[in-house]
Amino acid sequence: MSLQNGVLILAPHADDTEFFAGGTVAKLVAEGHEVVEVIVTNNERGTFELTPERIIPQSEAEARAAARILGKKDVIFLNYSDGMLSDVPLNELREKFIRLIREFRPRIVITFDPWAPFEPHPDHRQVAFAAVEAVSFAHMPLFHPEHEKGGLKPHLVTEQYLIAKAPVHANKVVDITPYIDKKIEALCAHDSQMKLTIDDLKMAMEATGASSEVLKMLDRNNYRGLLNIYIRAWAQDVGKKAGFEFGEEFRYEMAGGPAAALARGG
């Protein structure tokens, strides 16, 4: 299945895309790109209140709701155990990503940056390394030649958008000004994860001595206002680097690197 002007997202968790690239995804969809998201883990530990039996299907439903808001074509769940990807052999995950790249034949892959600093989450790190390696090898026929027996041919990914909590060498800011409301709406579709975010923040602020007035603002059942302020402030700070009202930033790579840029006259 070849996507039209395709975008394949390789995300560790259900809300990662919306946090870091929701506006960019909405923009790419508006420009005519078909987008498929692959969510690697099942989010079974992403809660302070729900059992795994409840959070897994709820998180999937929320991810599909967010996908509809942004216009993604489909969401695929690999259902690996949340928080435990460091137990999964890197080459196992890489093979799955190569297979998905050869199946969907995207022009663009969006994933985490494996070389960004200060990333504490093992799922982010593992997906990042497996994903960039998969992009590097998916067009080479001697990597998993068994794929061809199923009709999957090697495929070259042209562009990578690499995201990070602490981006380094970010070289691309995308203007998401027309899509900031859609980004926030998609984030709010992840109700369980927004409540988790508030719970986690409140726990940290209580531990560090925040005042009762501040803590009262952290209402897990009314997170939209606070989220709206935070996301707009973050996107505004990124956007001003490139003269936009709101932006998202990436370390952007194109196939061929410097040699390709020279060939294009860049």
pLDDT digits (tens, 9 = 90+) for 74-111: 999 999 999 999 999 999 999 999 999 999 999 999 99
Question: Which tokens go with 173?
Answer: 């800011």
Task: Check whether 216 has a pLDDT greater than 80.
Answer: no
In sequence order, the 6+-apart residues with CB closer than 8 A to the CB of 246 are 23, 175, 176, 177, 180, 232, 235, 236, 238, 239
pLDDT digits (tens, 9 = 90+) for 218-227: 888 889 998 9
Give the per-residue pLDDT at 210. 72
- By residue range, what is the domain housing residue 155? 7-257
Is residue 2 in some structural domain?
no
Instruction: For residue 66, give the CATH number of its domain.
Output: 3.40.50.10320
- Model pTM score: 0.94
Give the per-residue pLDDT at 260. 58
Tally of domains within the chain? 1
Is residue 136 in some structural domain?
yes
Is residue 19 in some structural domain?
yes
User: Average pLDDT for residues 52-76, to the nearest whole number?
Assistant: 97
Is residue 265 in some structural domain?
no
Residue 39: which of 92, 82, 103 has the closest Cα?
Answer: 82
In sequence order, the 6+-apart residues with CB closer than 8 A to the CB of 152 are 99, 102, 103
Tell me how far CA of residue 118 lies from CA of 21, 113, 132, 238, in angstroms: 19, 12, 18, 19
Give the per-residue pLDDT at 204. 85
pLDDT digits (tens, 9 = 90+) for 23-32: 999 999 999 9
Is residue 266 in some structural domain?
no
Give the per-residue pLDDT at 265. 57
Task: Check whether 257 has a pLDDT greater than 90.
Answer: no
Give the per-residue pLDDT at 266. 53
Task: Check whether 263 has a pLDDT greater than 60.
Answer: no
Question: Which tokens go with 207?
Answer: 């531990």
Is residue 264 in some structural domain?
no
pLDDT digits (tens, 9 = 90+) for 109-121: 999 999 999 999 9
Is residue 240 in some structural domain?
yes
Is residue 154 in some structural domain?
yes
pLDDT digits (tens, 9 = 90+) for 229-248: 999 999 999 999 999 999 99
